Chain A
């Protein structure tokens, strides 16, 4: 019996039709290509974890050569800029309160005398802890500068017991952009892919063309693949544009294999596009479908993918939840390709989950779709 077999003719007809829809609708075309670029620019510049300049307020009660020498170490490090030199605690408090200073340095009156007499001198460092991240980093820098000052004061005959030489691999300058951009591409693409396909099936329910379509011998699998194919092409182009921007606009090195990147993108796209299709089989209006697609992709991809917040630091139950967040695997693999260039076998676990996600979601969408009204 003819009607129950898969037909390449039908699939190709659906693919062509879907392409025509996209090409003849400038708005959907613009959304497909401009949205990822705009998001990448907005978030790429907005999200940064680098701390460039920390504002420092100095209250030097000693006013000696030694104390001045010590204070000069701060702006010299290029991390700090002295925004004010004050003469009382009230001003210190005011500057920290207003947020005009991140850190305050208070040097007691006997600083130079203590040093000369070989006693350990004490200084007070106050940090604005309302931004804990910045405060921690600022304190770390302050400590380093203080240590360096101490060693220069030490007798040159004394050698350091341990000479600590730190080296950071993959991102030697610890530029946060280097790990944010690859992750950001993964997160943005997760949202875009689901959004694109979530609209296509619900649009047909809304316009009444679906009623006509389900009365033909068309098979759900042909329908889904036909809907996904054009968006797959768009998705690949989007990822390529984003990667190009990452490399040439944001100066992130692409160290891994380009072919591997394409392969992973393909695996990711099948899952992401299927998710959108699944959403549209549940929601039969475009408005509900697009909102649902945003909810199931945006927040999980942003918060639970390990893109900004390390999964290892999350509570256990949240860690468990991240296993079903598709973006998690794509974020991990993309960071890997960009920065580490380790062979695919090193991220095999992520690849397997990415594949499983694609197959499972497509199967669920197929299972949920009925060629029936109501």
Chain B
């Protein structure tokens, strides 16, 4: 078994004239948890569907678990699990019936089944609800059931398309606890998410925008790779300060986090300029420090820049 779970090169998919995804190059190691982030319409779901063999690629190559998505889609399907963005389980089947249905589809041997079923139900806190029809579960419980169904055949790779979208924080924590447990067992996880705190937990993160993968690295390196420094300023009048700075430097470079102002600065001279602007506006700086950017800062920076380049 090779160490590479996913190898993608030049992958693309067009819908009519529109390219939903284009020129995608990517490699994911076995045992990795890879996060795909990007705004709506960036091409995350299309990518996910091509890699799981349910959407034909228009160009490029990809091998998943060692099999080509073009020639061996069915071999891939037996080795992976895919949880689509929409809840794809049967609402009129109970928790237990859904789980058993998926166990049957993947031909999970009878003797392995019961302990695994108990474990997955226990893991996801669904044991008390095993006889409840899936449509009567809360959003968070539905997603955990989806995950349990996806894990019943011990897949090599788990594909999750925005699994925690609209899920309450407690269920989200449960959900990620299960993912980490799977990771420990050597399962590779490929997850798309709109939550950047979740992306932070991934071993590597790919940033998609307008159908392309514009950045891809570990969360740490992505933050370090942000040019310049991120300055955090505490002032008495944060809103006024923001307006004064935005008027001079452009609104995309100034953002408000709580009572704090976050600013990108290219160099020391620019930091000097900022102080001057605030002084002119009669706003006192109470505290000032250089901070590590969050993934959100990174995300906003590159997406804004990509948009600016596209407009130019």
Residue ranges of A at the interface with B (Cβ–Cβ < 8 Å): 1-4, 7, 9-10, 12-13, 16-17, 20-21, 24-25, 207-209, 211-218, 371-374
How far, in whole Å, are A77 and B89 apart by their CA atoms in the complex?
Answer: 70
**CB proximity to A under 8 Å, residues B50-102:** 52-56, 73-75, 77-78, 80-84, 86-93, 97, 100-102
Size of interface on B: residues with Cβ below 8 Å to A = 34
Would A2 and B82 count as touching, CB distance under 8 A? no
User: Is there contact, CB below 8 Å, between B77 and A215?
Assistant: yes
CA distance A21 to B89 in the complex (A): 12
A12-B104, A20-B97 are contacts. A215–B74 as well, Cβ < 8 Å?
no
Q: Is the CB of B55 within 8 A of A17?
A: no
Set B75, B84, B105: member contacting A10, Cβ < 8 A: B105
For B82, what are the chain A residues with a Cβ–Cβ distance below 8 Å?
212, 215
Q: Are B77 and A3 within 8 A (Cβ)?
A: yes
Q: A136 to B155: give the CA distance in the assembly, Å.
A: 76
Q: Is the CB of A2 within 8 A of B86?
A: no
Cα–Cα, bound, A211→B102 (Å):
14
Given the known A-B contacts A9-B107, A211-B54, are A217 and B78 also in contact in the complex, defined by CB atoms under 8 Å? Answer: yes
Bound: A216/B149 CA distance, A? 11
In the bound complex, how far is the Cα of B49 from the Cα of A372, in angstroms?
9
Chain A residues with CB below 8 A from B74, complex form: 3-4, 217, 371
- Max count, chain B CB within 10 A of own CB: residue among A1, A17, A21, A215: A215
- Taking a contact as CB atoms under 8 Å apart, the answer to whether A214 and B84 are in contact is no
Decide: A217 near B106, CB < 8 A? Known: A1-B75, A3-B78, A212-B82.
Answer: yes
Which residues from B are CB-within-8-Å of A17?
Answer: 90, 93, 97, 101
Choice from B92, B97, B100, B101 contacting A25 with Cβ under 8 Å: B92
The CB with the most chain A CB atoms within 10 A, among B52, B54, B107, is that of B54
Centre residue among B84, B91, B102 by max chain A CB count within 10 A: B84
For A216, list chain B residues within 8 Å (CB). Answer: 77, 102, 105-106
Considering only CB atoms, which chain A residue lies closest to B161 in the complex? Answer: A211
Give the residues in chain B near A24, CB-CB below 8 Å. 92, 133
Minimum CB–CB distance from B81 to chain A (whole Å) comes to: 8
Do A217 and B104 touch (CB < 8 A)? Answer: no
Residue of A21, A214, A373 touching B92 (CB-CB under 8 A): A21
Are B55's CB and A13's CB within 8 A? no
Q: Shortest Cβ distance from A235 into chain B, in angstroms?
A: 22
Q: B15 in the interface, Cβ–Cβ < 8 Å?
A: yes
B88/A211 in contact, CB under 8 A? yes
Find A217's partner among B52, B77, B86, B87 (CB 8 Å cutoff). Answer: B77
Chain A residues positioned under 8 Å from B78 (CB to CB): 2-3, 217
Shortest Cβ gap from A230 to chain B (Å): 14
Contact (Cβ within 8 A) B84 A208: yes
Query: Given A217-B77, A372-B54, is A10 in contact with B90 using a C-beta cutoff of 8 Å?
Result: no
Query: Which residues of chain B come closer than 8 Å to A215, judged between CB atoms?
Result: 52-54, 77, 80-82, 84
Task: Sort A-B residue pairs by CB-CB distance and give the 8 closest, nearest first.
Answer: A212-B88, A13-B104, A208-B86, A3-B78, A215-B82, A217-B78, A24-B92, A216-B105
Cβ of B101: which chain A residues have Cβ within 8 Å of it?
13, 16-17
Residues of B contacting A211 in the complex (Cβ-Cβ under 8 angstroms): 54, 84, 86, 88
CB distance from A236 to the nearest CB of B (A): 24
CA distance A373 to B49 in the complex (A): 8
Given contacts A20-B92, A24-B92, A212-B89, contact A217 B105 (CB under 8 A): yes
Report whether B90 and A372 are in contact in the complex, using a CB–CB cutoff of 8 Å: no
Chain A residue with the shortest CB-CB distance to B83: A212
* Contact present for A13 and B92 (CB under 8 Å): no
Instruction: Given A9-B104, A215-B77, decide whether A208 and B87 contact each other with a Cβ distance below 8 A.
Output: yes
Identify which of A2, A24, A211 gathers the most chain B CB atoms within 10 Å of its CB. A211
A-B contacts, 16 of them at CB < 8 A, read A4-B74, A13-B104, A17-B90, A20-B92, A20-B97, A207-B91, A208-B84, A208-B88, A211-B86, A212-B83, A212-B88, A215-B54, A216-B77, A216-B102, A372-B54, A374-B55
